[in-house]
């Protein structure tokens, strides 16, 4: 086994991209001033934040002044959902930062089909009853399933309901969706630093602050800005990735299928980097442990809840009552990594089957 692990958990977080380190390290080591100060040590970090604001706005097709930097995607999601007026709708496969906020608001969770796609008939019925916000995870962090955001936006617009898209998994990987009213982004899934996210909104749309005391971000989000992670988010928004990643993902997925796995969300459009598979009769947490012992880092479902002994809510909403293995690739993934990971998978899956591992139902 190599001393350097093969990292296949990019949907949880990714190693910093070299271009990110070039920009972020000087902001940590040299230009560490408070962006809100008036002296010379504040100028470089302030300029870095505003440059990142422009980079991200360009990617999203928005105005820079309509962007609010936050501590991450979770805070950005909370900002728009908890601050919305009226009834709030979301899908059953949302990230917990949206799902739990909607439930706290007494909102409605809409069903999905077996591939994880939003039930559009149900959506149409609920939109006709009126709502203050519809929140949709554009690309699911566990399965990689991508919603038909253009159709959803058209339906929401016809009903006069603002659409919020959680695009945490898209920045640095895909082009931004064209049509939305609010958008959440972060950068650490694709080479940025943890500790920064942003909420964007279209001109003129309402936004209610959840934190007070400082006046930062035009009064919508109080607290000292964190220049290095924010600058890294701007850099990530400018990155482009080779189509080779999709080829490598397809190779890995095909190998899993040859070992008896079932691909989650196979009938839906998916992120090019995400492989979510179910090995019937094998607990995915045991696969994760076995892979880790052989130097391959992966997740069972979502890393956000991987420490909890319960089935994934995303999978359950899709009618899947078995745990799943998530293998997610990124900018640092190489062909030799996938070749090695496939060989390790063969060994670990065979070992678990020999041990007679039983299905896990949570």
Domain boundary among 176, 201, 236: 236
Report the distance separating Cα 327 and Cα 341, nearest Å: 10
Q: Judge whether residue 69 has pLDDT over 70.
A: yes
Quick: pLDDT tens for 272-292. 999 999 998 899 999 999 999
Percent of the chain with pLDDT over 70: 95
CATH of the domain at 290: 3.90.1150.10
Q: Quick one: CA dihedral 133, 136, 137, 138, positive or negative?
A: negative
Q: Which of 262, 359, 349 is nearest to 298 (CA)?
A: 349
Question: Is the same domain home to 68 and 173?
Answer: yes
Quick: pLDDT tens for 310-334. 678 999 999 998 899 999 999 999 9
Whether residue 322 contacts residue 359, with contact meaning beta carbons closer than 8 Å, is answered with yes
CATH of the domain at 52: 3.40.640.10
Q: Which residue has the tokens 């900002």?
A: 79
Question: Is the same domain home to 219 and 277?
Answer: no
Question: Is the same domain home to 181 and 298?
Answer: no
297 as an active site residue: the answer is no
Question: Is the same domain home to 226 and 316?
Answer: no
Quick: pLDDT tens for 193-246. 999 999 999 998 999 988 998 889 888 999 999 999 999 999 999 997 767 899
Domain boundary among 236, 269, 304: 236
Is residue 332 a part of any domain in this protein? yes
Band of pLDDT at residue 359, cut at 50, 70 and 90: very low
- Ramachandran assignment for 225, one of left (phi > 0), alpha (psi -120 to 50 degrees), beta (any other): beta
Lowest-pLDDT range of 136-145, 205-214, 260-269, 342-351: 205-214
Question: Is the same domain home to 67 and 100?
Answer: yes
Band of pLDDT at residue 309, cut at 50, 70 and 90: very low
Q: Judge whether residue 21 has pLDDT over 90.
A: yes
Tally of domains in the chain: 2
Domain boundary among 209, 236, 263: 236
Is residue 362 a part of any domain in this protein? no
Q: Judge whether residue 305 has pLDDT over 60.
A: no
What pLDDT, on a 0 to 100 scale, did the predictor assign at position 243? Answer: 76
Report the distance separating Cα 22 and Cα 30, nearest Å: 13
Question: Is the same domain home to 48 and 196?
Answer: yes
Q: Which residues pair with 165 in a beta bridge?
A: 136, 183
Q: Judge whether residue 307 has pLDDT over 60.
A: no
Q: Judge whether residue 356 has pLDDT over 50.
A: yes
Is residue 78 a part of any domain in this protein? yes
Which entry of 90, 122, 167, 304 is annotated as an active-site residue?
304
Query: Nearest 5°: phi and psi at 184?
Result: -105, 135
Burial of 284 (0-12, 13-18, 19+ CB in 10 A): buried
CA distances for 197 relative to 32, 36, 253, 361, angstroms = 19, 19, 30, 34
Q: Judge whether residue 61 has pLDDT over 60.
A: yes
Most confident of 161-175, 239-253, 301-315: 161-175
What pLDDT, on a 0 to 100 scale, did the predictor assign at position 301? Answer: 65
Question: Is the same domain home to 111 and 148?
Answer: yes
Question: Is the same domain home to 11 and 35?
Answer: no
Is residue 361 a part of any domain in this protein? no
Identify the H or E element spanning 46.
Answer: helix 43-60
Is residue 311 a part of any domain in this protein? yes
Question: Is the same domain home to 61 and 133?
Answer: yes
Is residue 360 a part of any domain in this protein? no
Band of pLDDT at residue 141, cut at 50, 70 and 90: very high
Question: Is the same domain home to 225 and 248?
Answer: no
Band of pLDDT at residue 358, cut at 50, 70 and 90: very low
Q: Which of 100, 186, 83, 104 is nearest to 138 (CA)?
A: 186
Is residue 227 a part of any domain in this protein? yes
Mean pLDDT of the region 52-79: 97
Q: What is the DSSP letter of 250?
A: H
**Mean pLDDT score across all residues of the chain:** 93
Q: Which domain holds residue 103?
A: 18-236
Is residue 1 a part of any domain in this protein? no
Question: Is the same domain home to 24 and 76?
Answer: yes
Question: Is the same domain home to 271 and 209?
Answer: no
pTM, entire model:
0.93
Q: Judge whether residue 308 has pLDDT over 50.
A: no
What pLDDT, on a 0 to 100 scale, did the predictor assign at position 1? Answer: 53
């Amino acid at each position: 086994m190599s001393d350097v692990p093969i990292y296949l958990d990019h949907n949880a977080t990714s190693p910093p991209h070299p271009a990110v380190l070039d920009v972020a390290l000087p902001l940590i080591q040299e230009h560490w001033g408070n962006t809100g100060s008036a002296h010379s040590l504040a100028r470089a970090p302030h300029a870095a934040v505003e440059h990142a604001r422009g980079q991200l706005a360009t990617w999203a097709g928005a105005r820079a002044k309509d962007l609010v930097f936050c501590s991450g995607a979770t805070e950005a999601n909370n900002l728009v959902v908890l601050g919305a007026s009226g009834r709030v709708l979301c899908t059953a496969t949302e990230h917990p930062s949206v799902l739990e906020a909607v439930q706290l608001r007494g909102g409605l969770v809409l069903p999905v089909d077996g591939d994880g796609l939003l039930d559009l008939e149900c959506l149409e019925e609920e939109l006709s009853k009126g709502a203050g916000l519809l929140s949709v995870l554009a690309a699911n962090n566990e399965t990689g399933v991508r919603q038909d955001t253009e159709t959803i936006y058209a339906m929401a617009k016809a009903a006069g309901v603002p659409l919020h898209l959680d695009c945490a998994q898209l920045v640095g990987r895909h082009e931004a969706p064209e049509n939305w009213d609010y958008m959440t982004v972060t950068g650490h899934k694709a080479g940025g630093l943890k500790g920064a996210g942003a909420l964007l909104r279209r001109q003129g749309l309402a936004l209610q602050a959840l934190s007070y005391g400082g006046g930062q971000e035009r009064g919508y989000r109080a607290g000292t800005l964190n220049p290095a992670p924010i600058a890294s988010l701007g850099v990530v928004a400018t990155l482009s990735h080779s189509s080779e990643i999709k080829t490598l993902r397809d190779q890995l997925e095909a190998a899993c299928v040859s070992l008896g796995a079932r691909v989650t969300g196979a009938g839906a459009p998916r992120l090019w980097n995400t492989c979510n598979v179910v090995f019937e009769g094998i607990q995915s947490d045991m696969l994760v442990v076995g892979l880790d012992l052989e130097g391959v880092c992966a997740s069972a479902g979502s890393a956000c809840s991987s420490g909890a002994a319960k089935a994934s809510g995303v999978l359950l909403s899709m009618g899947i009552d078995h745990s799943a293995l998530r293998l997610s690739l990124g900018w640092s993934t190489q062909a030799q990594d996938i070749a090695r990971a496939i060989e390790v998978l063969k060994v670990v899956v065979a070992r678990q089957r020999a041990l007679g591992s039983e299905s896990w139902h949570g």
